Every structure is written in structure tokens, then in C-alpha cells.
A and B are shown apart, each in its own frame.
Chain A
Amino acid sequence: MGDLAGGLRAPLDVGVTAVLAENKSPMLIMETRYDYLMKNLPAWKDYIRYRVYAVIAAVLTAILIFSQPLLAVIAAFLTTYCWKMHKFYLARTMANTRTVMLGH
């Protein structure tokens, strides 16, 4: 879209302002640290849990691969699945870069 006469960018500015004004939820939410932690605690527990599942499935894969190859394939699938879920919950909790502001 080219500039208007006189170099004004009025349509673009109006558009951005409209998005801000029509936002249904507030941009910033203030609550307690406890409530925020309790919201993220289930994801943190899943982050730990899927790591344990992945290790158990990897050990099962190594055990079953010589005796029960078909079961070993399922265990190998579960290993990768649980590891990716572990990485997913890691990104939601410990490696998350969303900003929080702590009051004293």
C-alpha cells in the first residue's frame, strides 16, 4: 500500500489503534505469584513426568529389541513421543521467555 498524499500513514495507524481498542481481554494481568505458579505447576509436572516416561520407554526399547521386536518398535515410538512432549512442556515452563513483572 502506497503512502497517502503528504506522506501520511493514517490508515495504518487507525488499524493498529483499532486492534488495541477492540481487544476483549486486558493486555496485562495482575495476580499473585502463588496463583501464577499454580497455573503453571501442572505443565511443570508434565515436564518432569514425560522425561521419566521417555527414559523408561528407552530402557524398555533396549531390553525388548532382541526378544520382542514388535513391542520394541512401540516402545521406540513412545520414547520419541514422550521426549517431544518433554521438550514441549520445557518450552512452556522452564525455557519460556514471556515477560513477568514481580512486585515486592
Chain B
Amino acid sequence: MTVNVRDFTRFMEGGRKPVDKGVKLKGWSSQGARPTIFVPMATIGQMGENGKDGVAKVPHTMDVITRGKFISRVMNDGWKMGGLGTSYRAYFWGVIFFAMTVVSYLYIHVYLAAVFAYLTGYMRSQYLMNHAWNVEWFKGKSLIHTS
């Protein structure tokens, strides 16, 4: 429920009930313009407490890391983990394989061109997937940093 503080105060003083305006989520841009982080005032876990699997519980809902860790995580270029760096690599190899597709079709054999065409499409999909998860997805995710 999203209510103006002034309207809520008037309601508490006997005024009319405030209208719930809600949160407008028309798209990534409107959500990114006003990012929010949910921080509960009371948590069940305690500092240093381990879960059933032996892994330490995180008592806060935010991931508190360094800028270097954040950039390393996002700009990761490994094929299995994925990241924005993987997007760059897939774009590069996609261009290379596309050129090899054309060259092999014109001068070598169409069957070899089919192999390079498959690799071109695979790199295109890798580029799209990594761009979606590491660029578009983060447009609505909040981050707090020191000034």
C-alpha cells in the first residue's frame, strides 16, 4: 500500500480515508526511476547462525559487497557462469562465424557453411541471453552505494 504521508496523517486525525495509489510499474524505465529495497526491521536469523545445510544464514536481505566484486560478477566473461563480458565475447565470435559462413559457402562447401551457420546462431543466442540477464534485468534492480 502506497499512501502519501500527509494523507495518512489527516486520516489518523479523523479525515477521509486515503486512496491507495499503488506502485506504478509500466516498464523498466519507470521502475528504475524509483528503485526500492525492502529491509525488514526484524529478522529471524542471527549474525553467525548456520542453516540446516551448514551454510551461514544471511541476516540481512541486501548483498553487501565491494564495487570490485560487483563489477567482476557482472563483467564476468566465462561461458558457463555468464555475464556482460560473455555478451561481448559472443558478439565478437558471432561476427567471426558469420564471416566464415559466407566465405565457406562461396569458396569451400555448403555443408561446412552449415556448421558455421549453426555456430553463428549459437553465438547470437548466447549474446541475447547474457544481454537479457545482465543488462535488461538489472535496469529494475536497486543498488545503494556511498557518495
Contacts and interface: CB of A to CB of B under 8 A. Distances in A.
B71 A103 contact: no
Nearest to A40: B71
B143 A36 contact: yes
Interface of B is mostly: mixed
Interface string A1-43: 0000000000000000000000001111111111111001000
A81 interface: no
Contacts of A37: 71, 74, 84, 138
A96 B63 contact: no
A44 interface: yes
Interface in B42-88: 61-68, 70-72, 74-75, 84
Contacts of A36: 70, 143, 145
Contacts of B66: 96-100
A102 to B, nearest CB: 4
B144 A100 contact: yes
Name the residue in B37, B61, B144, B147 with the highest tally of chain A Cβ atoms < 10 Å from its Cβ: B144
A33 B145 contact: no
B19 interface: no
B139 interface: yes
A27 B31 CA distance: 23
A70 interface: no
